[in-house]
Structure formats: C-alpha cells, structure tokens
Structure 1
Amino acid sequence: MALPQLIPSPPSSSLSRKLFLNPNCRFFSPSSSVIPVPSLARHRHHRRRKENSLRCSASSFSEKHHTGSPKSDDVVELPLFPLPLVLFPGAILPLQIFEFRYRMMMHTLLQTDLRFGVIYSDATTGTADVGCVGEVVKHERLVDDRFFLICKGQERFRVTNLVRTKPYLVAEVTWLEDRPSGDGDEDLEALANEVETYMKDVIRLSNRLNGKPEKETQDLRRNLFPTPFSFFVGSTFEGAPREQQALLELEDTSARLKREKETLRNTLNYLTAASAVKDVFASS
C-alpha cells in the first residue's frame, strides 16, 4: 500500500539505545499551552499482522480524554488512514492531505463526525491491527482541494474486519481500554513519578551532551493521571514507531509505564557513559 504524504515527515535515523531529542514534541492542552519535551527513540522489534486483513505537551486533562467515550464492546465502522507513525490518545498530529482518495475521505468526514482511524503502517511490516482515532480539531481547505489538518488523538481501537479497501480503507473496529493491573497493590502514581524522574535525567544529560544549559527540568506530568501520562511518554519516543506501536497496544497502564521506565533507564545508562567519555576527551 502506498503511504499518504503528511507533515511533518518522521525523522529517519539509525536507532540505537540512545535517545534522539526533539524539543518540538507537544501534547494536547485544553488551555492551548504548550510544553516542549524532548523526543526519545529506541528500537524494539514488535510483530504485527500483514496488510491483508504531534506532535505531542503534557497538560491537565482527565483520565478520560472526553465525555461519552464508547464502550469497549461497541463495534463501529471507521475510515482508516495508514501512516508511518503512531498517534497516541491526547496527542496532536498535523497533516497535509493531497492524495485524491484521502481528499475524498476528508469531504465525507467534514460532513459527518470528523473522526478517522490513524494506524501505523510501513513497507516492511505492513499495517498494524491497533490504532488511535484522530479527531479533526482544525482544518483548512486550499484552492487546489488539498487539506491542512490539526488532529487530536482520541480512543484506541482494534481492527476486527475490513469492510472495503477502495477508494480508501474502511474497517469494523472495537475500542480498547486499559484493564486494571493484575497486581492490585501496585502504586501507579509512584511508578509514573519514577518514569518522570528518568525522563528529567535523560533530558538533563542530553542537554549536556548537546552543549545546552543544564537547567532544572520543568514538571512533565502536569497533573496527568498515570494512564494519559503513559500515553504522553510514549508519544515522546519519536523516531521509534515500532516501540511506540508496542506501547499503544498494551492494555495495562502498569505494563506500559514499566516498559517506558526500562527504555528510559537503558537510555540514561547510555547517555551517562557517553557523557563520561566526553569529559575524558575534554580533560585530555
């Protein structure tokens, strides 16, 4: 499947244990305030089925991203937009649409509920089963019938059946929600605070290695509950879409935070070693 064009294009990079920083990552904020947060990249293999089947800043919004969330057993039809990136609930995604089939989709959406499914796809692994609803919050239609969109991530979904493939994909989907952790005694707040601490340390060391001032990192959680905070953290792993897809598919907030904590800890170890090497060369 030919992938649609979008803006901005995801960065192409050779992934390693190092985190690649992007200060333009922002999460949706009801007050329109934006907090720059570095983007973290780490590649991890994740298997998905083949095709035949934000920018992102932390903000204070509730565990449910909007009222009237659909029930997990609802089955609905949803137009799909396969992209080489992963959209998380609460994240902001700017898009430019100029392919004819997706312009057709936009004409339909603008007359209905402005919601479509963003689903990760690449030429190697095909199209994922799990994606995130993108709701058009702003749009501009140009004279040549192209569209510029600003979309906000909403619910996650799983594709259960393809309804049609032309002129664009439409699928039956069911909604995904995080289930309670099997460990009832686990303190999600404490785990989320640990993840935030690792993020701050990674940002601090990254700034040092890039010659930037090591000023104190701001509050990254911004009153987010653990579940939306885990989505925010995943959205900052820009440049590692397979790892992001794995995080999106998890249905346990604790498991998602633990995986993010592991990635951040490994990255912090890498950056600490890199910083020590830099200091040795500087002193000699």
Structure 2
Amino acid sequence: MTTVRLPLFPLNSVLFPGLVLPLNVFEERYRAMMRDLSKIPEDDERRFVVVAIRDGLEIAPSSPGLPDPTAVPEKGPAAGFGEEPLRAFHEVGCIADTATLQERPDGGFELLTTGTKRVRLLSVDASGPYLTAEVEELAEEPGEDAGSLAETVLRAFRSYQKRLAGAKERTLAPDAELPDEPSVISFLVAAATMLDVPTRQRLLEAPDTASRLREELRLLRTETAVIRHLPSLPAIELTRSPTSLN
C-alpha cells in the first residue's frame, strides 16, 4: 500500500475529482498552509487534501488570523477538532491541486483548486502549524454496466435541470457539452445536484462508478419529483451557494 502525507484542509463540504473549488483562506492555521504551498514552484504540484467534517464534530471555533476580541482561547492546528482529529472527519476525501494562489494585503489567501483523486485518511498529525494527513489513493473501478448507467443518469440529469430552469449558478446550461466518461459523469452529477453533505459524502465513498451512478439515478428521480411539486419556490434560491470559506 503506497501512502503519502499531505496538508489537510477540513471543510463543511465535499470535493469531487475533476471539480473546481475556489477558497477564501483567513484562519491562521490555513494561512500557514498556504504560505508553505506558495513556496512550491508553480510548475510543481501544490497539493492538499480536502475532507468533510463530520456533522456536529467541530466542537469549537478556531482563532482567527487577526486579533479578535471574540477569539476563543483554544488555538493550534487541531483547534475545534478534539483530542483525536481523525475522528472529526469523514474517512474519504479528495486531493486538491492548486491552480492559482494569491495572497491578499491582509495576509489571507484566495486560491482556485481542482479535485484530482479520492483518498482514504489513515492518520492525522497536529504537531505542526496546520493539520497533515497520511492518505492512500483509492482506485476508481468502473463496476458493472457503468456505460449504460451513465447514459441513463445523464437523461435524468437533463430532466432535473429543466425543473431548475433559470438556476444558472449551480446547474449546467441545457446545451452544455457533457463528458462521456462514466466516472467523470458520476462526479459531475454528484457536484451539480442539490444534495446535503452526508449524501455527497456517500457518493464520494461509493465503491465503484456504477454504484455511484445507480444512487444518483435514484436521487435525481426523487429530487425531480420534489421540485415538480414546488413550482412557487424560485429555483435560483435553491441553488445559491457562496464561495467556500475555511
């Protein structure tokens, strides 16, 4: 088993391979991470792991990067995640590759990342200025009938999109060109459908592409039926989502 240790960036959201994630970094522990990443040449990989926080397990806010009278006494890379940080996070995350990294005058950072590979967290180290994790890469197996399932899911996704007509912030345009690789389709649909974090996490952890697509087909049909019965609720309000903050 090949493992690697990478910086760990916990979020209240799920990152999928192939999907873009903008981040606005202001907490000191993540500023320290970004300062180290910025020292890596742009031609090399500036990688870290994005992992979703288990619901209810961020037990305290961490200290902000700038002086703040409301800051709590608890500080350090594991602030807010308890004595065993590994237990505060979901087991499977996604490696993020940094495309752009810009420091602001206030010392914060804005960056644009892309998910690359799913990984399983094996251990978390809080001895440095920020969390790091030992992870192993998870292979993406196609599973049975992934190709035909992908076609069916795309049709269901188009129907779902039509029910969200006008919600351009989180859905694809009706004439958008979609991929034909089943695994890519499965991750795209998982990211573009309105789902809560536990459901997205379950899709990320699916044992293979076909299993993920089967679950997405069920979810899409359910969500489309729900939206059909909520004609008075503006779809754009359902899909508005801010840039992820740390």
TM-score norm. by structure 2 comes to: 0.72
Partner of 1:145: 107
Alpha-carbon distance in structure 1 between the residues aligned to 2:164 and 2:30: 39
Aligned residue pairs: how many?
193
The structure-2 alpha-carbon separation of the partners of 1:100 and 1:274, relative to structure 1 and needing over 3 Å to count, comes to: closer
Partner of 1:20: none
Partner of 1:136: 98
**TM-fit CA distance, 1:122:** 4.5
**TM-fit CA distance, 1:265:** 0.8
Partner of 1:204: 162
The structure-2 alpha-carbon separation of the partners of 1:168 and 1:264, relative to structure 1 and needing over 3 Å to count, comes to: same
Deviations 1:142-190 (A, max 9, x none): 2222111011111111011223354211111000112242x4xx2x222
Partner of 1:251: 207
Partner of 1:114: 46
Alpha-carbon distance in structure 2 between the residues aligned to 1:190 and 1:124: 38
Alpha-carbon distance in structure 1 between the residues aligned to 2:177 and 2:150: 11
Partner of 2:152: 194
1:82 aligns with 2:22: no
What does 1:264-275 correspond to in 2, within 5 Å?
A: 264-274=220-230
Deviations 1:164-220 (A, max 9, x none): 354211111000112242x4xx2x222111111111111212329x8xxxxx92245
Partner of 1:235: 191
Alpha-carbon distance in structure 2 between the residues aligned to 1:266 and 1:123: 24
Alpha-carbon distance in structure 2 between the residues aligned to 1:160 and 1:167: 20
Query: Secondary structure of 2:53's partner?
Result: strand
Alpha-carbon distance in structure 2 between the residues aligned to 1:220 and 1:254: 22
What does 1:207-218 correspond to in 2, within 5 Å?
A: 207=165, 217-218=174-175
Q: CA RMSD in A?
A: 2.2
Unaligned runs of 5+ in 2: 58-87, 168-172, 232-246
Partner of 1:176: 138
Comparing 81-90 with 262-271, which one deviates more in the overlay?
262-271
Alpha-carbon distance in structure 2 between the residues aligned to 1:244 and 1:138: 26
Deviations 1:254-283 (A, max 9, x none): 0000000000011222233445xxxxxxxx
The structure-2 alpha-carbon separation of the partners of 1:240 and 1:258, relative to structure 1 and needing over 3 Å to count, comes to: same
The answer to whether the 8 A contact 2:10-2:52 is kept is yes
The structure-2 alpha-carbon separation of the partners of 1:240 and 1:262, relative to structure 1 and needing over 3 Å to count, comes to: same
Alpha-carbon distance in structure 1 between the residues aligned to 2:124 and 2:218: 35
**TM-fit CA distance, 1:241:** 1.3
Partner of 2:61: none
Alpha-carbon distance in structure 2 between the residues aligned to 1:143 and 1:217: 40
Deviations 1:52-81 (A, max 9, x none): xxxxxxxxxxxxxxxxxxxxx320101100
Query: Secondary structure of 2:187's partner?
Result: helix
Comparing 255-264 with 231-240, which one deviates more in the overlay?
231-240
1:162 aligns with 2:119: no
Partner of 1:92: 20
Query: Secondary structure of 2:120's partner?
Result: strand
Letter in 2 for 1:161: S
Query: Secondary structure of 2:125's partner?
Result: strand
Alpha-carbon distance in structure 1 between the residues aligned to 2:140 and 2:207: 4
The answer to whether the 8 A contact 1:121-1:127 is kept is yes
The answer to whether the 8 A contact 2:156-2:221 is kept is yes
Alpha-carbon distance in structure 2 between the residues aligned to 1:195 and 1:123: 28
Letter in 1 for 2:17: P
